Structure 1
Amino acid sequence: MFTLFCVSRRRASALSALLASVALAASTSIAHAAVGQIKLAALGDDASVTLFYPTDATEQKVQRGPFELSLAVDAPPATARSNGRLVVISHGSGGNAWVHADLARALVNEGFVVAFPLHRGDNSADPGKPGPDSWKQRPAEVSRAIDAVAQDPRFAPGIDFNRVGMYGMSAGGHTALSMAGGAWSPGNFRRHCEAHIDEDFATCVGLIVRHSSGWVGALKRWVALAVIRSRFDDDTLHTHHDPRVAAVVAGVPAASDFELSSLTSPRVPLAFVTAGRDAWLVPKFHSERVLAACTTCIRLADMPSAGHGALLSPFPPGISGLLADLLNDPPGFDRSQLPAVDARIVGFFRQHLIGAPASTAVAP
C-alpha cells in the first residue's frame, strides 16, 4: 500500500565553495574508462549486489529490463582508472539499479566504483513489502553491500572503505537520511498522515487509490487512516550507524517520519537534490522540511519544474495509470539538465571523499 520509490544564507558560502570547485574541472581530468557491470554474490538472505566500475574492456549493448545499455559485463576492473572510492546507491520502492544507470556511468567516469543493493520486498521483481518493513532493513542492506564489495578480492584491494559515499532516491532517499544519522519512527509517519493526508495523499496511501473530493474522497481518507493507524502504531525510533559512510546525497527523499532534531547537524556532509513539482513526496513535508531544520546541509541541485520521477535516468518506458501520473515529467520539464545534476552529485562525492574537484561537473 505504501509504495514510495538543504540552502540558508549561512550555508551559502559552503555551496559557493562546492560550485567553485566543480567549475575548476579541467586540471584533474581522469580519462574515461569503459563501464563494467557485474553481480556480486549475496550475503545472507540479501539479493545479489550490482556493481558498476571502470574497466578497459569493450562495452557491448545489453538488455537490462526495458533498457538497452552499453556495458562491459563481467569484465575485469581497471584498478589504475579507479579513484579508490565506493559509492552505494539505494533505489526507490519498486526500483532497481537500471533506472540509475546514467548516474552510475557519471560516477564511473570519475573513477568511482558504484554498488547497488536490491532491497528485499521493495524492488521491481519483488515489490510486495514496501513501507516500514523495508525502511527498517534498507540501511543494513546498504552496509552489507559495502561488506560484499570489501570481501571481493577483485575490487577490495583498490578501495578505501573508510570513505564510502551513499546516494538514495525517494525511499532510497529515506535510506540516505538514515545513513546520515537520521532517526525515524512509524508513529511519526502516522501523525504526519493524520495531519496532512489531503495535502500529501500519495505519500500516505501510495498507488492503491487516487485522491478525490466529496463523499468518495472522505471515505477513502477514513479507510486509509484506519489502516495507517493500525500499521504505524509504533513510536520506536529507528537508527543505523555505519562509520564507513562519509558523505550522503538524498534525492527527493521520503522524510516526513524523521525526528528533525536528529538531522539538525548530520554526522556526515549531507546534500539534497529537490524537485519543485513532486506530487508523490510533496517537498514541503519532506526535503524542504529537513532543509529548513538542518544547519549544515546544502541543496546540491534544485529542479523547480521537475516531478518525482526526474531522477530516474533512464526513465522506465511504458508506465501507465496512477504510477505514470506520479512519475512522468510535468509539462515544461527539460531532461537535458540531468547530466549537469549528475555532475554535481559526482562533484560532491569527489570533494568529500577525495578532496578534489570533479572533472566533468557542470552547473545546471
Structure 2
Amino acid sequence: MHLFALLFVVLIAGWGGGSASASEETGFRQIVLADGPVMVWYPTAQDAPVTMVADNKAFFGVDVIRDAPVSGANHPLVILSHGYSGLWRNQAWLAGYLARAGYVVASFNHVGTSFGSMDPSWAKDLHRRPAQVSRVLDALLADEDLAPVINAERISVIGHSLGGSTALLVAGGVFDPARLLDACGDDSRKLVCTVYRKGGLSRDMASVSAADPRVASIVLLDMEGIRAFTPESLKGIGIPVLALVSGVEDPALPLGWEGREQAALLPAATSRYAEVIGSTHFSFMSQCKPGAVELLEEDAYVCQGETAPREQLHRRIAETIVTFLTAGKQLVSALQVP
C-alpha cells in the first residue's frame, strides 16, 4: 500500500448529535470501581468554580468544573487507555478537548501497568487491560446519571502506545505472543520487544482475543505491537480504525517496523493512517512545563525531540480525532490506497 504522511483526515461528517457549544466548559467527576477510580469528563454549561486536574510540576493540567451537571444528551462516549507504565493523566489534554467537543470521556489507571503500580509479570495476563476497559464501559452504561446522556451507538476506545494494543484487542484483533517474539528475535533495541520480554511474554502462551461488540470505532496513538496480531483477525475488523503515529524517527520505535506496518496490515476499507509530522512517541502525552526537562532528569526524553510545539501538535491531533469519530463509517477519503 502507498502511505500518505497526512495529518488532517478529510471525511464526510455522517453522525449528528453530541456537539458542544463554544460556551460550554469541561465537567469532571469520579466514579469508584473495584479496580480503582474512573475519571469522567463531559461538557457542562456550568462555568464555576474552576479547578485544575492532572497538573503537577512537570506537566500542565486541565481546567474543569468538578461534579457539574452534564449539559445536553446523546453524547458519544470515548474510553482512553494509557500506555505502559502510564497514568490516566497522560491524555488529560485530550479528554478535556473531547469533553468540550461534546463527548463523555472516561480515563483510569490500568491495573498492573500503571506508573507506581507495575506488575513485573504483567504480560502473562494480556486479558487484564481490555477486560478493564469493558468493565469501565459496563459501569458507565449502568450509571444512573451518565447512562441517559450517552449515545450507546457511538462508543470509541482511544489508546496510546500499549493502550493502542488494548484498543485493537477490544476491536477484535487477536494477539499471538509467539508472532511478536518471533518477529523480535534477539533484538534488544526495539522498545516493544524489551518491554514484552521483561513482562514475561512467552511463545507457549495462548493467543488472546477480547472483542467488545459495543465499541464502534477505535483510535491508535503511536501503538506498539502490531506484529503480534494475526493478519486474519486484523482483516476481519469491521469497525473504523484511525492510526496516528509519530513522525520523528526513533530507533527504539522504528516507524517502518511499527507505524507503517499498521498501515500495511489494517484493512484499507475501514482504517485510516497518518504520520503526525513533528511529533515523537511522547507528544501524545500532556504538555511539558518550562523546567520539566531538568526536573525529570533521566526521564527528560518524554519532553524532548519534537520539531513542532506540543501544544500545536495536540490541537491538530485532537481535531483529526474528532473529525474521524464524527464521520463514523463514512470513511470516504482514504489515507491508504491499493
Rg larger in structure: 1
1:209-248 matches, within 5 Å, as 231-248=201-218
The answer as to whether partners of 1:300 and 1:345 remain within 8 angstroms in 2 is: no
**1:75 partner SS:** coil
TM-score (norm 2): 0.82
Structure 1 match to 2:172: 181
1:284-299 matches, within 5 Å, as 284-296=256-268, 297-299=270-272
**1:135 partner SS:** coil
- Counterpart residue type for residue 273 of structure 1: L
For residues 69 and 237 of structure 2, the distance between their equivalents in structure 1, rounded to whole angstroms, comes to 37
Q: Which blocks of at least 5 consecutive residues in structure 1 are unaligned?
A: 1-6, 23-27, 207-223, 357-364
- 1:140-166: CA deviations, max 9, x gaps? 111111111112111101112232011
1:114-129 matches, within 5 Å, as 114-129=105-120
Task: Return the match for 1:140 from 105, 125, 131.
Answer: 131
Query: Does 150-159 or 181-190 show the bigger shift?
Result: 181-190
**2:30 partner SS:** strand
2:317 paired with 1:341: yes
Instruction: Assess, with a 3 A threshold, how the Cα gap between structure 1 residues 46 and 342 changes in structure 2: closer, same or farther.
Output: same
2:326 paired with 1:350: yes
Structure 2 match to 1:330: 305
The answer as to whether partners of 2:189 and 2:252 remain within 8 angstroms in 1 is: no
1:143-292 matches, within 5 Å, as 143-194=134-185, 197-200=187-190, 202-206=191-195, 231-255=201-225, 256-276=227-247, 277-292=249-264
Structure 2 match to 1:215: none
2:287 paired with 1:314: yes
1:33-112 matches, within 5 Å, as 33-42=24-33, 45-57=34-46, 58-64=48-54, 66=56, 67-78=60-71, 80=72, 82-112=73-103
For residues 304 and 16 of structure 1, the distance between their equivalents in structure 2, rounded to whole angstroms, comes to 7
- Counterpart residue type for residue 281 of structure 2: H
Number of equivalent positions = 314
Shift of 1:307: 1.7
Shift of 1:83: 4.3
- Counterpart residue type for residue 147 of structure 1: D
**2:145 partner SS:** coil
For residues 282 and 2 of structure 2, the distance between their equivalents in structure 1, rounded to whole angstroms, comes to 26
Instruction: Assess, with a 3 A threshold, how the Cα gap between structure 1 residues 272 and 152 changes in structure 2: closer, same or farther.
Output: same
For residues 265 and 52 of structure 2, the distance between their equivalents in structure 1, rounded to whole angstroms, comes to 44
Structure 2 match to 1:305: 278
Structure with bigger helix share is: 1
- Counterpart residue type for residue 319 of structure 1: L
Structure with bigger strand share is: 2
TM-score (norm 1): 0.76
For residues 315 and 135 of structure 1, the distance between their equivalents in structure 2, rounded to whole angstroms, comes to 31
The answer as to whether partners of 1:92 and 1:169 remain within 8 angstroms in 2 is: yes
**2:262 partner SS:** helix
Instruction: Assess, with a 3 A threshold, how the Cα gap between structure 1 residues 324 and 232 changes in structure 2: closer, same or farther.
Output: farther
The answer as to whether partners of 1:178 and 1:240 remain within 8 angstroms in 2 is: yes
Instruction: Assess, with a 3 A threshold, how the Cα gap between structure 1 residues 280 and 144 changes in structure 2: closer, same or farther.
Output: farther
For residues 48 and 64 of structure 1, the distance between their equivalents in structure 2, rounded to whole angstroms, comes to 14
- Counterpart residue type for residue 230 of structure 2: E
